[in-house]
Amino acid sequence: MTAQTLSASPAPAQTPTPRGGGKVSGGLLDPGQLLRSLPDAVRKLDPRTLWRNPVMLIVEVGAVWTTMLAIARPSWFGWLITVWLWLTVIFANLAEAVAEGRGKAQADSLRRAKTDVTARRLVGWTAGQAEARAERVGAPELRQGDIVVVDAGEIIPGDGDVVEGIASVDESAITGESAPVIRESGGDRSAVTGGTKVLSDRIIVKITQKPGQSFIDRMIALVEGSSRQKTPNEIALNILLAALTIIFLLATATLQPLAIYAKAGNPGVPDSPALDAHGVSGIVLVSLLVCLIPTTIGALLSAIGIAGMDRMVQRNVLAMSGRAVEAAGDVNTLLLDKTGTITLGNRQAAEFVPLDGVTEAALASAAQLSSLADETPEGRSVVVFAKQSYGLRERTPGELTHAMWVPFSAQTRMSGVDLDESGDGRPGRSLRKGAAGAVADWVREQGGPVPPRLSEIVDGISASGGTPLVVGETVDGSARVLGVIHLKDVVKQGMRERFDEMRAMGIRTVMITGDNPLTAKAIADEAGVDDYLAEAKPEDKLALIKKEQQGGRLVAMTGDGTNDAPALAQADVGVAMNTGTSAAKEAGNMVDLDSDPTKLIEIVQIGKQLLITRGALTTFSIANDVAKYFAIIPALFVGLFPGLDTLNVMRLSSPQSAILSAVVFNALIIVALIPLALRGVRYRPSSASKLLSRNLAVYGLGGIVTPFIGIKLIDLFIQFLPGMS
């Protein structure tokens, strides 16, 4: 299909996208979003839902217990504590509900992309068959292996592979990009997605999906969080939090007999809402337990995992599981394809090397003229390079009226022009540009010499990984070689810096290419990758991945073809291109909807950010407890042991105010950290030791200092409430 055909195609209508744009991705601090998620947070109070989060389940059980105690012995202090304990559970559920709400908004936009379509299923179709009987069936009735035909203007009824034909397809419902894409049979761009629209021509599609398991169906389930499973790291952290909760539960329980014994030995100490003849009141014990167990990270843990997958969706990457996102954060080795990932993919003119007796300007002018009839990317790059580097004005074939153009062909391997500058119908000057052997033979046929230095220049360019093109001319029957054009597979701008960032993270980068070792080494050195695999075949990729994994390393790679499927399945993070084959998309555990191979670097950074966010908030949550010791422990026992008053460094107004202030802070800090859990901690590429030091300095120290300030400010406000004196 030509570019003219594509540009003439009607622009597809914009549809809602799963990227997280607009209302989906914004509003991390939007109160409206919190209010919309509040009903879901209340519904999550159901113990059948909350049991998956043992820390918050303990808090809910404590809230139920304090409610019963407050009813039995009503007091302002008891009811305030009870209300804030319930708010603690609701705020914890709110964090997860907000994260899930963002996914539901994305899922709703995907559902709008699903339409009930009728498919034309071909009966008895075989490849190359001109006609086959078509029957109308509903899209849900299609089964794997069915053959359907789709004409221009029709919706593709299901996921599949193009087995015949070529067409431009509007995939804006999936990728959010309005530009149409080409889908054709027999290549790595044969996969089509149900719900997308054919804009031109006709294609025959073989259905590869199972009923109810289309690509959009899976996307909806994933972004809603319904199929999000806890990752090993998340499970391990949950076990740690449960263990800490049990330890603090036992520690809190031992305070009761200690208080009873101490009170019996000091009968002159007056009773208080916190401590009476029966020991520590149940409401205070629950308050102490809730403040000491790691409620902050327990409340935010699920939201952090959901937000990690959400950030992938915002970047148009569909992660098939939370495990894949987490694995991306632990990747040690990145396998990157050269063409289109590290390099631009098209060789471009980078240098003109003239032979003796020829100036660079003369060679540039001849190279430009001889390339005007060359419509290949390489030919166009010669024209642009000559114009930009040598100040030559832009010329077009139409300007030269007495010229016979010789377009490039695979047979001649040359392009050029014959100029009739005298106007007598006989070419006075001829120019040719092309492969070294083809142009050298043409010069010899015209009776001209081929200097020995030409082979030295050609061999030098080839050894450096470049491609040499030779320019020759004849003037009035005299032929000669003018010089050589150096074509390079240009490395994308900024790639060396990005690989330096990967190296700073401790990630090894390996370039994979089908080029010869000389070319591969030249590109690898220029790009700054750590290693390369030249002349790579599918089995070589698979062997390299297995070798890396045997050393205990996690491997990530991208691919789009059927021959990439084994390696994608073997890799710990396999990113399949959406433009690729169904086999590649089934083998990988992520799909890049933009089909941008460099996205793999962003995926690794998102995974790192997920792990760092989880670690940072865990550090903050555990450090939080320090200030609460200084608030609640003196409040409980200062009457029995006056010396404990020295621990009241915040100078809280009363024991009741100290306990309530700690409980209120414990609830409010969860809401305050929801935006950070959803957005993620800012990630800067550095070593693990530096990241740990930064976490301890910022979130460890911050987790200690913040509660001292927060609890004191809350105490200043609530000391005037009834029952706080």
Residues 401 and 479 in one domain: yes
Query: Does residue 25 fall inside a structural domain?
Result: no
At residue 696, the pLDDT reads 82
> What phi and psi values does residue 547 have, to the nearest 5 degrees?
-65, -45
Locate 678 and state its tokens. Answer: 């959803």
Q: Which residues lie closer than 8 Å to 539 by C-beta, 6 or more apart?
A: none
Query: Does residue 292 fall inside a structural domain?
Result: yes
Angle at 174 between CA 172 and CA 180, to 5 degrees: 35
Amino acid at 158: G
Q: Where does the pLDDT of residue 669 fall: very low under 50, low under 70, confident under 90, or very high at 90 and above?
A: very high
Residues 301 and 370 in one domain: no
The catalytic position among 146, 337, 489, 572 is 337
How many other β-carbons are positioned within 10 Å of the β-carbon of residue 48?
A: 6
Residues 377 and 451 in one domain: yes
Residues 585 and 634 in one domain: no
Q: Which residues are annotated as a binding site?
A: 374, 378, 408-415, 433, 560, 564
Of 490, 523, 553, the residue at which a domain comes to its end is 490
Under a CB-based contact definition with an 8 Å cutoff, are residues 516 and 462 in contact? no
Under a CB-based contact definition with an 8 Å cutoff, are residues 321 and 229 in contact? yes
Residue 250: enclosing H or E segment and its boundaries?
A: helix 232-265
What residues does 435 pair with on adjacent strands?
469
Give the integer Cα–Cα distance in Å for 120 and 134.
6
Residues 136 and 283 in one domain: no
Q: Where does the pLDDT of residue 82 fall: very low under 50, low under 70, confident under 90, or very high at 90 and above?
A: very high
Q: How does pLDDT run across 121-130, given as a tens digit for each residue?
A: 888 777 656 5
Q: Ranked by mean pLDDT, which of 175-179, 301-305, 438-442, 721-725 comes out on top?
A: 438-442
* Residue 207 in this model has a pLDDT that exceeds 60: yes
Mean pLDDT computed over every residue of the chain? 78
> What phi and psi values does residue 426 have, to the nearest 5 degrees?
-115, 130
Q: Tokens 């642009």 label which residue?
A: 384
Work out whether strand 531-533 and strand 508-512 pair parallel, antiparallel, or are unpaired. Answer: parallel
Who wins on pLDDT, 267 or 152?
Answer: 152
What residues does 207 pair with on adjacent strands?
160
Under a CB-based contact definition with an 8 Å cutoff, are residues 251 and 625 in contact? no
Q: Quick one: three-class SS letters along 436-501? A: HHHHHHHHHHCCCCCCCHHHHHHHHHHHCCCEEEEEEEEECCEEEEEEEEEEEEEECCCHHHHHHH
Residues 348 and 481 in one domain: yes
What is the domain extent for residue 195?
A: 118-157+159-208
At residue 11, the pLDDT reads 31
* Residue 43 in this model has a pLDDT that exceeds 90: no
Residues 543 and 675 in one domain: no
* Residue 228 in this model has a pLDDT that exceeds 70: no
Query: Does residue 392 fall inside a structural domain?
Result: yes
Query: Does residue 627 fall inside a structural domain?
Result: yes
Residue 483: enclosing H or E segment and its boundaries?
A: strand 478-491
Give the integer Cα–Cα distance in Å for 630 and 644.
9
CATH of the domain at 561: 3.40.50.1000
Residue 488: enclosing H or E segment and its boundaries?
A: strand 478-491
CATH of the domain at 146: 2.70.150.10
Kindly report the pTM of this predicted structure. 0.63
CATH of the domain at 350: 3.40.1110.10
Give the integer Cα–Cα distance in Å for 132 and 147.
10
Q: How does pLDDT run across 419-431, given as a tens digit for each residue?
A: 876 655 566 788 8
Query: Does residue 23 fall inside a structural domain?
Result: no
Residues 358 and 337 in one domain: no
* Residue 245 in this model has a pLDDT that exceeds 80: yes
* Residue 84 in this model has a pLDDT that exceeds 90: yes
Q: Tokens 């790059």 label which residue?
A: 381
At residue 513, the pLDDT reads 79
Q: How does pLDDT run across 341-381, given as a tens digit for each residue?
A: 677 666 788 888 888 888 888 888 888 888 888 877 788 88
Q: Give the number of C-alpha atoms closer than 13 A to the C-alpha of residue 145, restricted to the C-beta side.
A: 1
Residue 334: enclosing H or E segment and its boundaries?
A: strand 333-337
Q: Where does the pLDDT of residue 93 fall: very low under 50, low under 70, confident under 90, or very high at 90 and above?
A: confident
Q: How does pLDDT run across 619-664, given as a tens digit for each residue?
A: 898 888 787 777 777 777 666 667 667 777 777 777 788 888 889 9
Domain count, the chain: 4
Residues 502 and 455 in one domain: no
Q: Which of 68-82, 149-163, 579-593 has the lowest mean pLDDT?
A: 579-593
Residues 361 and 484 in one domain: yes
Q: Which residues are annotated as a binding site for ATP?
A: 374, 378, 408-415, 433
Residues of the chain with pLDDT > 90: what percent? 5
Give catalytic status of residue 337 as yes or no.
yes
> What's the Cα-to-Cα distance from 413 to each of 374, 396, 448, 516, rounded to whole Å?
10, 21, 19, 21
At residue 86, the pLDDT reads 94
* Residue 276 in this model has a pLDDT that exceeds 80: no
> What phi and psi values does residue 463 have, to the nearest 5 degrees?
-65, -25
Say which DSSP state 222 is in.
H
